[in-house]
Amino acid sequence: MRNPFGKYADRFYALMRIVLGLLFLCHGAQKLISMFQGTLAPAPLMIAAGLIELICGSLVAVGLWASFAAFIASGQMAVAYFMMHLPRGFLPINNGGELAVLYCFAFLYIAARGSGPFALK
């Protein structure tokens, strides 16, 4: 059966890349400048995470060096999962790590696929 949405695949990918990048950027803004009712990051590791989220999220959203930025972001989310969530249990649904896993694999897909359409490249 023919996929009726197949002709829009590139546009949907660009939309996913932009939204994912903006959401990731928001996590960094929460940590670094206390936006969106976040709290300022107290530890150096959280400041580094906030910087990666802010910078890589921006780059992914605009599509500039998106593969490289997404690969870094994917790695950060893998580290976050193993450091913060895995000690609380094995399954992401039980340890609160679903978002970290989703970000990790979505960014890994962007790293493999590249910037796509509507990007600064």
Note whether 119 and 62 are within 8 A (CB). yes
Q: Minimal CA–CA distance to 56: which of 15, 108, 21, 102?
A: 21
pLDDT band at 38 (very low <50, low <70, confident <90, very high): low
Decide if pLDDT at 13 tops 70: yes
pLDDT band at 41 (very low <50, low <70, confident <90, very high): low
pLDDT per residue over 53-72, tens digit each? 999 999 999 999 999 999 99
State the helix-helix crossing angle for 9-33 and 98-113, rounded to 10 degrees: 130
**Cβ atoms < 10 Å from Cβ of 21:** 24
Q: What is the pTM of this model?
A: 0.90
- Which pLDDT value is given to residue 63? 97
Domain range annotation of the chain = 10-113
- Which pLDDT value is given to residue 24? 97
